[in-house]
Amino acid sequence: MKPPPGLTRTPTEQQELTAALAAKPDGYVPRTHLKDGDGPRYINRLIFEASPYLLQHAHNPVDWWPWGDAALAEAKRRDVPIFLSAGYATCHWCHVMEEESFDNEEVADLLNRNYVAIKLDREQRPDVDQVYITATSLQHRHAGWPNSAWLLPDGRPFHTGTYFRKPHFMQVLSAITHQWSGDKRAEFERFAASLSEAVNTALSRPKPQADITHAARNAAEHLAQSFNPVNGGFSNGQQFPHEGNILFLLDRYRRTGDADVLEMATHSLEEMTAGGFHDQVGGGFHRYTVDENWRTPHFEKMLYNQALLIRCYSECFELTSNPRFQRTVERLVQYLARDMSAPDGAFYTAEDADSLDGSGKLEEGAFYVWPPEEAREVVADPATVAVLGLNKPPTIEAGPVPHLTPHEPYDAETLDAELERLRVARDSRPRPLRDEKIITGWNGLMIRGLAQAAATFDRPDWRNMAEAAANAVLDRLESPEGLHRIHGGGIALEQANLSDYAWLAQGCLAIHDAGGAETWHAKAGDLAATALEVFAADLGRLALTQDGPLGPVMELEDGAIPSGESSMLELLTDLSKRGGGDVWGARAHLLLNALSGHLAEMPVARLVAVTTAEKLTKGDSGLQRHLQHGRARLALRRGAGWTLTITLNDGVYIETASLKTRGLKFDTPLPRELTGTHSLPVKLTGPEIGLNIQLCTDRLCFATENVVFRVFP
């Protein structure tokens, strides 16, 4: 085993690395093309890490350090700059830069001699990543992964970028090395001070409280301007699912009855579920498509996309009763149970875009494409090849991607049988890498989505899956010191951040709402209380973490996933409506006031917070409602017919003579007084259903509440 190019190691250091490699379990495969015989030529200190992404780089000739105080201290000791590379295990362009540069001895020699090189798993430390991706965005007006940053030994960035081809990368490394030891060092210091100040300003800039009366309307108008009326979505180029946009639009329809906003949501979901973006064969969704018609995906699959899309399709089904949306959810849950679940029920993080093709070469999409001649050997009916669009010219070199024609009819039972034949055959191919670490927050997102779907489709088995996942996450990642963020390699890693607490609490609350025990409600409250204490920031706001590289890390927006701060606002609001409303509601209003300036300035950047502001000030909009801080619950559900379920706490009743309705008729006469739980068959006579309900106890009657439900006619 050789020391890395450009450095020497003590025999003890080399022995420790060799022993760590020998201790790896059976099946461990070093990821490198640099080998001597059957073994890797190099080992670096990432061999001690549990992160799958960091382990991918454990055999690079680059002398990588994980993020931490030790790496910064080493840079200070050597008086050299830091090169930071941030990515994640299923990132395609991260793999490309690794193959071209990080697994190259010439590049490694240049890095090892002149830098302390740090590898950062952005999923393990999203707070650190947030700081440096913000720096890249400020310097270049765009950012992405792999994210490349050059830092002073104290962690302040002075130059940034994303993916570099090898010649350009070496040119930048050489130039900074030359300038570091020359008269440009002071310039690096000045730029680091300026860029760091800009990052802190961007992340934490306070805004005075503002009127947000029109924030939701303004956000809807903004989305209408960016909506693609032909293909759905909100782009005329690359298409991301933008689940936050969809969920906001569904809430907007439920509140206003505006058919145009519902059309934007339903059309987008119809196009997504028909396209190659949707894994037609195995279920679930890829991360995005490179074209506007959802046909050609970037093939990685992320747990958070599945979690948010299951909510989108479930909520849209509640409004439209579209059977394709139900089928999409059912196939997504099948994929989740089959391919993304650990034995204890926790959910894995992601699947890679790349896999081995027939020649043994890593190629993006190799696992998913279907040349028509291969498909014909598997399906029972050759016409299936045309139904799945496999007879059309492929849009990527690897081959055709199965997709359906939007809005074109098909027999779901027949098609699903054919797709199962293809899935079984596909499983004999080399599978993409699966990132098997367990992320607390991402599991929370999926637990919420799964529990919500369980309630929508009356699937107690799905609620059981959600409960199993929640129990597994708590068993793995909860300790007397609080939550951890990641479980990988058999150990819990990193302290959980604000998002982890908020998303897991939302999952627990969703289990309770789907019929789970009261203990899940209590657990959500416990997690919320801890988060408020640990992450409290100035002016009533909440930090993602308190210990970022430049200080407390604040979030800028709701991006591909909701921000922790917006999610906490939603959690506090939901808790206030289920009991303890004075405490939770007051804290929700404090946080909303702190965010209101941002919402007024650019509401489309924080759609979760905008939606929650509507909920906090005007009440729920969904088909499940809580009255008088949890004293009663209403649920309007589709089935063979519509059912209104009324659940009243002990000691609470409704005098039916005072129950007024519109747009709704009860199939059978009501008793004089409602107590306990009643599932009442009803007929809807219009798209807007109203109920005036007054709850009473033996001591008092509360003010009458007007509850309005909207469904698509």
* HEC per residue, 487-543: EECCEEEEECCHHHHHHHHHHHHHHHHCCCCHHHHHHHHHHHHHHHHHCECHHHCEC
pLDDT value, residue 629: 86
The mean pLDDT of the chain is: 94
d(CA 253, CA 614): 13
Over residues 250-261, the mean pLDDT reads 95
pLDDT in tens, 412-463: 999 999 999 999 999 999 999 999 999 999 999 999 999 999 999 999 999 9
pLDDT in tens, 316-334: 999 999 999 999 999 999 9
Closest to 88 (Cα-Cα) out of 465, 375, 433: 433
d(CA 147, CA 486): 21
Over residues 400-411, the mean pLDDT reads 93
Q: Which tokens in the block code for residue 552? A: 């407390």
d(CA 92, CA 76): 33
Over residues 252-257, the mean pLDDT reads 94
Over residues 60-77, the mean pLDDT reads 97
DSSP letter assigned to residue 347: B
Residue type, 48: F
pLDDT value, residue 7: 87
Closest to 199 (Cα-Cα) out of 128, 148, 144: 128
Over residues 333-340, the mean pLDDT reads 98
Q: Which tokens in the block code for residue 435? A: 């990132």
Domain range annotation of the chain:
11-204, 354-434, 624-710
Over residues 581-588, the mean pLDDT reads 89
Q: What homologous superfamily does CATH list for 624-710? A: Thiol:disulfide interchange protein DsbD, N-terminal domain (2.60.40.1250)
pLDDT value, residue 455: 94
Q: Which tokens in the block code for residue 31? A: 């990821």
pLDDT value, residue 582: 81
Tell me what percent of the residues of the chain surpass a pLDDT of 90: 87
Q: What angle do CA 583, 219, 237 make, to 5 degrees?
A: 130
pLDDT in tens, 586-642: 999 999 999 999 999 999 999 999 999 999 999 899 999 999 988 999 999 887 789
Supply the pTM of this predicted model: 0.93
DSSP letter assigned to residue 284: S
Q: What angle do CA 284, 288, 293 make, to 5 degrees?
A: 100
- Helix (H), strand (E) at residue 20: helix 11-22
Over residues 109-133, the mean pLDDT reads 96
- Helix (H), strand (E) at residue 551: strand 551-553
Tell me what percent of the residues of the chain surpass a pLDDT of 70: 99
| Contact between 311 and 329 (Cβ < 8 Å) | no
φ, ψ for residue 655 (rounded to 5)?
A: -75, 115
Domains 11-204 and 624-710 share a fold: no
Over residues 353-379, the mean pLDDT reads 93
* HEC per residue, 59-104: CCCCCCEECCHHHHHHHHHHCCCEEEEEECCCCHHHHHHHHHHHCC
> Is a pLDDT exceeding 70 seen at residue 713?
no
pLDDT value, residue 565: 97
pLDDT value, residue 184: 84
pLDDT value, residue 395: 86
pLDDT value, residue 639: 78
| Cβ-proximal residues to 301 (8 Å cutoff; 6+ apart), any chain | 90, 279, 284, 285, 286, 287, 350, 351
pLDDT value, residue 580: 67
DSSP letter assigned to residue 694: -
Q: Which tokens in the block code for residue 686? A: 């219009």
CATH architecture for the domain at 11-204? 3-Layer(aba) Sandwich (3.40)
